[in-house]
C-alpha cells in the first residue's frame, strides 16, 4: 500500500526515474567490471546524450530541424578548453593566441560554465533572424550555420589553432561526471518540455497559425528555446573536450552531426525517452560496426583498408527506420507509469500536423 | 579593363550557380524537400569521369555524357529506393532521409573507391586561355557560360512547351490538384529527380574542371552554394533559383575584391551574413510568387 502511494507520488517524475536509474546502474556496472575501452564508450555515450538532449529541447519541441547544434558544441568545447588549459600549455598548443587568452586560467567547472555561456551567447547573437523561418528554409539556414561555424573555427587560428589539432586539454571528465551531467540535462530537458515555454513551443509545432492566434510570440519562444538548447550543446561540448583532450574543428562537423541526428531520430525526437534510448541504440550499433571494421582491417581480410563501413551501415539503418517508423521508435510518447484513476493526459499521442503524418 | 575580366568571371560563376540552384529547386518545388544528397550527385559525376576516363580510351565527350547519365541514374535510384517510401510521411523524416542518403553515398565512395583525391584527365579546352577584346580569359569560363546559358534556355523551353514541363510546373504549384487532373505522381517526381540529376551531372563537369580531381566530400561546396542561392532567390520559383544563383555568384566575386586579404578566409561567413540580411528584409526571397501554398503529403 505504501509502495503504491510512493509510486503515485512519484508518477509526475516517472519518466526521469525510468531513464535515470538504468543509467546509474549501467555506470556502476561499467565502473566495477568493464575494461578501459568500455568505460570510454560509455562515457562518450553519456556526453553524446547531453548533446542529443540539447537538440531535443529545440528540435523535438519546435518541430524545426536543427543542424547547427554540433557547431555550438564545438564553440563550447573550444571556449571551455581555452579557459582550463594552463598558460604554458596554451603557449605551445595555440602559438598565435591573443595575450589575454594566454593568461586566462580557470578550474574545470568554471571553464565548463564559460563554455556553456559562450555557446549560449553566440546563439543569442546570431540566431534571432533564423527563428522566423520554418520548414525547409529553417533547415537550409541552420545547415549553413553549421558550415559557417566550422569555417570560423578552422580559420580563427588565434583562438582555435586553426585546422590543426588542439592538444593538451586536461582530462577532467570522468564516467561519474558524465552520467551525473547527463541526468541533470535529462531533468532540465524534461522540465523544459513541461514548462510554460516548452508548452508554447510545442503548440507552435502542432499548429503554427492557431498558436500565434492565441497570442504566442512564436519567434521569441523559438529564440529562447534555441538559446537554451545551444547552451546545453556548449555544456556537452566542454565535457567532451575535457575527456577527448585533443581535437580539431573537423570533430564538430558533418559526421558528428549525422551521428547525433541519427541518435535523436531513431528514438523519436519528440520526447526525452526517445532521445535517451536512441543515443544508447546508435552507440551500440556504431561501436559494434566499428569493432567489425577494425577486425577486418587488423586481420587483413581484404586487400585494402575499409573506411566508412560504419557510416554506410548507420545511414542505411537510419533510412530503413525512417521508412518504417518516421516518428522514431517512441514517437511522441514517453516512458512513464501513471497513478490509478488518472487519465494519462500527457501521454496522448500528439497530432503532429505541422510535421505531416 | 579589369572590369571586363571581372564581369566574365562573375557571369561564369553566376551561371554555374544558377544551374546548381535550379537543380535543387526542381525537386523542392514539388516535394518541398531540400535534397541534401544533391551535392553527392556532383560527386557521382566526378567519379564516373574518373572511372570511365581512366579505364577506357573513349573520347572525353562520351565520358562526360557517361558522367551526366551516371548522376541521373543515381538521382533516380535515390528517389526510387529511399524518398518514395518516406515521401508521404513527414517533412522532417524526408529531410533526414536525404541527409542519410548523402552520408550513405559519401561513405560508399569512401569505402568502394578511396578517401584520397583522384586526379581526372581533362581535355585541353579546360586549361587554355583565349584573348577577347584584349583580355585574357580562361576558356573554361567562356565554356561554362555557353553551356549554362544553353541549358537554361533548353530547360525554359522544356518547362514552357512540353507536357512534362507543364506537368512539373503544375505539380510545383499545387501537387494535389495536379494529381487530381490525372498526372501520375510517381512519374512527375521521378522525372524531377532525373532532371535534377542531369543538371548536377552537367555542373559536375565544370565544378571538377576547376580542380581536376574528385574526393568523396566534394559535394558539400556546391550543395551549400545551391542552398544559399535558393534562399536568396526564393525557394518557390524556378526563376527565383536562377536569379539567386546569379546574385550569389556576383556577390561572391565582389566580396573577393572588396574584402581585405586577412578577412578573405571568412568569405563564406560574410556570404552568410548577407543571407541573414536578405532573410530579414525579404523572408520569401528576391523573387516572390503569386501563388504559394503549404506542403501536402
| Confidence band of A357 (pLDDT split at 50, 70, 90) | very low
The total of other beta-carbon atoms located within 10 Å of residue A98's CB is 12
Place of cell 581480410: A301
Report how far residue A115's alpha carbon sits from residue A71's, in angstroms, rounded to the nearest whole number.
Answer: 13
- Looking only at the bridges linking them, the beta strands covering B135-138 and B213-214 are unpaired
In a domain, B246, yes or no: no
Residues of chain B with pLDDT > 70: what percent?
A: 94
Q: Which residues of A touch B279 (CB under 8 A)?
A: 129-130, 132-133, 137, 141
| Confidence band of B136 (pLDDT split at 50, 70, 90) | confident
Chain B touched by A308 (CB under 8 Å): yes
pLDDT recorded at residue A53: 95
Report how far residue B258's alpha carbon sits from residue A214's, in angstroms, rounded to the nearest whole number.
Answer: 47
Segment among A278-287, A326-335, B120-129, B206-215 with least mean pLDDT: B120-129
Is the model's pLDDT at A356 over the cut of 50? no
In a domain, B272, yes or no: no
β-strand partners of B119? B213
Closest CA to B120 of B215, B227, B245: B215
Closest CA to A163 of A83, A74, A70, A86: A74
B271 neighbors B254 (Cβ within 8 angstroms): no
pLDDT recorded at residue B271: 75
- Looking only at the bridges linking them, the beta strands covering B129-132 and B135-138 are antiparallel
Closest CA to A261 of A273, A274, A250: A274
Chain B touched by A315 (CB under 8 Å): yes
The total of other beta-carbon atoms located within 10 Å of residue B163's CB is 8
Alpha-carbon Rg for chain B, nearest whole angstrom, is: 19
In a domain, B259, yes or no: no
Report how far residue B214's alpha carbon sits from residue B207's, in angstroms, rounded to the nearest whole number.
Answer: 10
Shortest distance between the Cα of A356 and any Cα of chain B, in A, equals 5
pLDDT recorded at residue A345: 52
Q: Which residues of A touch B106 (CB under 8 A)?
A: 308, 311
Place of cell 566575386: B253
In a domain, B135, yes or no: yes
Residues of chain B with pLDDT > 90: what percent?
A: 25
**What's the grid cell of residue A170?**
586536461
Q: Looking at the partner chain, which of B231, B275, B283 has a beta carbon nearest the beta carbon of A132?
A: B283
In a domain, B102, yes or no: yes
Give the CA distances from residue A86 to residues A95, A151, B134, in Å, rounded to whole numbers and listed in that order. 13, 26, 60
- Residues 53-112 on A with a CB inside 8 Å of B are 63, 65
pLDDT recorded at residue A352: 44
In a domain, B58, yes or no: yes
More confident residue, A157 or B196: B196
In a domain, B226, yes or no: no
pLDDT (tens digit per residue) in B49-96: 999 988 888 888 899 999 999 999 999 999 999 888 888 777 888 888
**CB–CB of A143 and B85 under 8 A?**
no
pLDDT (tens digit per residue) in B248-257: 888 888 877 7
Chain B touched by A210 (CB under 8 Å): no
**CB–CB of A308 and B107 under 8 A?**
yes
**CB–CB of A144 and B279 under 8 A?**
no
Report how far residue A63's alpha carbon sits from residue B167's, in angstroms, rounded to the nearest whole number.
Answer: 31
Segment among A330-339, B13-22, B279-288 with least mean pLDDT: B279-288
Segment among A25-29, A141-145, A261-265, B199-203 with least mean pLDDT: A141-145
What is the pTM (predicted TM-score) of this model? 0.86
**CB–CB of A254 and B280 under 8 A?**
no
Is the model's pLDDT at B295 over the cut of 60? no
Q: Looking at the partner chain, which of A144, A309, A355 has a beta carbon nearest the beta carbon of B111?
A: A309
More confident residue, A77 or A89: A77
Distance from chain centroid for Cα A344: 28
Shortest distance between the Cα of B173 and any Cα of chain A, in A, equals 16
Domain count, chain B: 1
Q: Which domain holds residue B192?
A: 14-219
pLDDT (tens digit per residue) in B257-275: 777 777 777 777 777 777 7
Longest Cα pair distance anywhere in chain A, in angstroms?
67
Q: Looking at the partner chain, which of A135, A152, A254 has a beta carbon nearest the beta carbon of B91?
A: A135
Segment among A219-223, A255-259, A325-329, B273-277 with least mean pLDDT: B273-277
Q: What is the rounded average pLDDT for all residues in chain B? A: 84
In a domain, B283, yes or no: no
Amino acid at each position: 500500500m505504501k509502495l503504491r502511494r510512493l509510486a503515485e507520488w512519484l508518477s509526475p517524475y516517472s519518466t526521469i526515474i525510468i531513464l535515470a536509474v538504468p543509467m546509474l546502474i549501467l555506470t556502476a556496472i561499467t565502473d566495477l567490471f568493464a575494461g578501459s575501452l568500455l568505460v570510454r564508450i560509455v562515457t562518450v555515450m553519456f556526453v553524446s546524450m547531453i548533446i542529443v538532449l540539447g537538440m531535443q529541447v529545440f528540435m523535438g519541441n519546435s518541430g524545426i530541424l536543427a543542424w547547427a547544434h554540433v557547431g555550438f558544441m564545438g564553440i563550447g568545447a573550444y571556449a571551455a578548453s581555452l579557459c582550463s588549459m594552463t598558460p604554458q600549455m596554451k603557449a605551445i598548443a595555440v602559438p598565435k593566441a591573443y595575450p589575454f587568452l594566454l593568461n586566462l586560467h580557470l578550474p574545470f567547472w568554471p571553464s565548463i560554465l564559460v563554455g556553456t555561456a559562450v555557446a549560449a551567447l553566440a546563439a543569442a547573437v546570431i540566431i534571432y533572424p533564423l527563428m522566423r523561418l520554418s520548414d525547409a528554409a529553417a533547415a537550409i539556414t541552420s545547415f549553413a550555420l553549421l558550415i559557417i561555424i566550422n569555417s570560423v573555427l578552422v580559420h580563427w587560428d588565434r583562438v582555435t589553432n586553426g585546422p590543426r589539432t588542439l592538444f593538451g586539454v586536461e582530462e577532467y571528465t570522468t564516467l561519474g561526471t558524465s552520467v551525473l551531467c547527463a541526468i541533470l540535462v535529462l531533468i532540465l530537458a524534461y522540465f523544459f518540455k513541461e514548462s510554460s515555454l516548452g508548452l508554447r513551443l510545442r503548440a507552435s509545432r502542432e499548429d503554427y497559425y492557431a498558436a500565434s492566434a492565441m497570442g504566442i510570440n512564436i519567434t521569441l519562444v523559438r529564440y529562447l528555446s534555441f538559446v537554451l538548447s545551444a547552451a546545453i550543446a556548449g555544456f556537452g561540448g566542454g565535457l567532451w573536450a575535457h575527456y577527448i583532450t585533443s581535437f580539431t574543428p573537423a570533430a564538430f562537423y558533418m559526421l558528428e552531426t549525422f551521428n547525433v541526428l541519427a541518435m535523436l531520430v531513431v528514438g523519436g525526437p519528440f520526447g526525452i525517452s526517445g532521445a535517451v534510448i536512441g543515443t544508447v541504440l546508435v552507440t551500440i550499433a556504431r561501436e559494434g560496426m566499428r569493432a567489425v571494421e577494425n577486425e577486418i582491417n587488423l586481420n587483413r581480410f581484404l586487400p585494402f583498408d575499409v573506411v566508412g563501413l560504419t557510416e554506410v551501415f548507420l545511414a542505411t539503418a537510419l533510412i530503413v527506420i525512417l521508412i518504417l517508423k518516421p516518428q522514431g521508435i517512441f514517437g511522441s510518447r514517453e516512458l512513464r507509469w501513471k497513478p490509478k484513476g488518472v487519465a494519462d493526459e500527457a501521454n496522448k499521442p500528439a497530432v503532429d500536423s505541422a510535421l505531416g503524418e | 579593363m579589369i572590369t571586363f575580366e571581372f564581369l566574365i568571371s562573375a557571369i561564369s560563376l553566376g551561371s554555374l550557380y544558377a544551374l546548381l540552384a535550379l537543380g535543387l529547386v526542381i525537386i523542392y518545388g514539388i516535394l518541398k524537400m531540400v535534397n541534401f544528397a544533391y551535392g553527392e550527385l556532383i560527386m557521382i559525376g566526378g567519379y564516373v569521369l574518373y572511372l570511365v576516363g581512366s579505364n577506357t580510351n573513349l573520347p572525353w565527350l562520351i565520358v562526360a555524357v557517361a558522367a551526366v547519365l551516371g548522376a541521373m541514374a543515381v538521382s533516380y535510384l535515390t528517389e526510387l529506393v529511399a524518398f518514395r517510401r518516406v515521401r508521404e510521411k513527414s517533412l522532417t523524416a524526408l529531410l533526414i532521409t536525404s541527409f542519410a542518403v548523402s552520408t550513405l553515398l559519401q561513405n560508399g565512395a569512401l569505402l568502394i573507391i578511396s578517401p584520397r583525391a583522384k586526379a581526372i584527365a581533362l581535355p585541353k579546352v579546360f586549361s587554355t586561355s583565349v584573348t577577347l577584346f584584349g583580355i585574357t580569359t580562361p576558356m573554361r569560363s567562356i565554356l561554362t557560360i555557353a553551356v549554362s546559358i544553353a541549358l537554361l534556355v533548353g530547360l525554359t523551353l522544356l518547362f514552357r512547351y512540353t507536357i512534362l514541363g507543364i506537368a512539373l510546373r503544375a505539380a510545383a504549384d499545387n501537387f494535389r490538384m495536379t494529381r487530381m487532373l490525372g498526372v501520375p505522381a510517381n512519374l512527375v517526381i521521378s522525372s524531377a529527380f532525373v532532371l535534377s540529376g542531369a543538371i548536377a551531372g552537367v555542373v559536375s563537369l565544370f565544378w571538377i574542371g576547376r580542380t581536376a580531381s574528385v574526393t568523396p566530400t566534394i559535394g558539400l561546396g556546391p550543395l551549400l552554394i545551391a542552398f544559399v542561392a535558393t534562399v536568396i532567390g526564393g525557394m518557390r520559383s524556378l526563376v527565383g533559383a536562377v536569379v539567386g544563383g546569379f546574385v550569389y555568384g556576383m556577390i561572391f566575386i565582389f566580396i573577393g575584391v572588396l574584402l581585405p586579404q586577412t578577412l578573405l578566409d571568412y568569405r563564406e561567413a560574410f556570404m552568410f551574413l548577407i543571407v541573414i540580411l536578405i532573410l530579414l528584409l525579404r523572408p520569401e526571397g528576391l523573387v516572390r510568387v503569386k501563388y504559394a501554398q503549404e506542403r501536402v503529403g
